[in-house]
Amino acid sequence: MYSKDQASQLRQTFWTTFGQYLSPQMSADGLKINWINYKTGIKHLHFKMQTDNRSAYIAIELSHPDPGIQELFFEQFIELKVVLNSTLDEEWEWSLHMPDEYGKTLSRIYKTLNGASVFNRNDWPALISFFKPRIIALDDFWSTAKYSFDALK
């Protein structure tokens, strides 16, 4: 069992390692990018990667405080679902208006990896192999799809 500080340090080390591993990878638009804190350019729309002691997930997260606007964004992603699935080369889970760990309502399009722990360094290759192709594919998708969201900014 790790103390809170040890757990935080291990998480930080994992994300630093992941960031260094991906740093040579350019975006779909040929630009240098911060893969860990991916900027979509749209407020309340994030690409999120999360891992804990049992699982990991990567998600498109819609966190607009107005549920109606959040639903408009979600519907726009539904319109682009075929393109998204094709770019990702897999289907993800879709959840409209779910509570997050703080009780805030958000919508999420996500893929989960079970049975991998950020606290087990032996699982890090599996975590990196899970996150890397998916965040790169999300970037590829977003390089063209972002224009579909201009009217919702």
19-68 pLDDT, tens digit per residue, is: 999 999 999 999 999 999 999 999 999 999 999 999 999 999 999 999 99
| 93-99 and 55-62 strand pairing | unpaired
Cβ burial 10-44 (10 Å sphere, 16+ → b, else e): bbeebbeebeeebeeeebbeeeebebeebebebeb
Integer Cα distance of 128 and 100 in angstroms: 24
Q: What does DSSP assign to residue 120? A: -
pLDDT of amino acid 83: 96
User: pLDDT at residue 2 above 90?
Assistant: no
On whether residue 106 sits in a domain, the answer given is: yes
In-domain check, residue 117: yes
Q: How many domains does the chain have?
A: 1
Is 33 within a domain? Answer: no
**Residue span of the structural domain in which 78 resides:** 41-152
Structural domain contains residue 142: yes
Domain membership flag for residue 130:
yes
> Is residue 148 included in any domain, yes or no?
yes
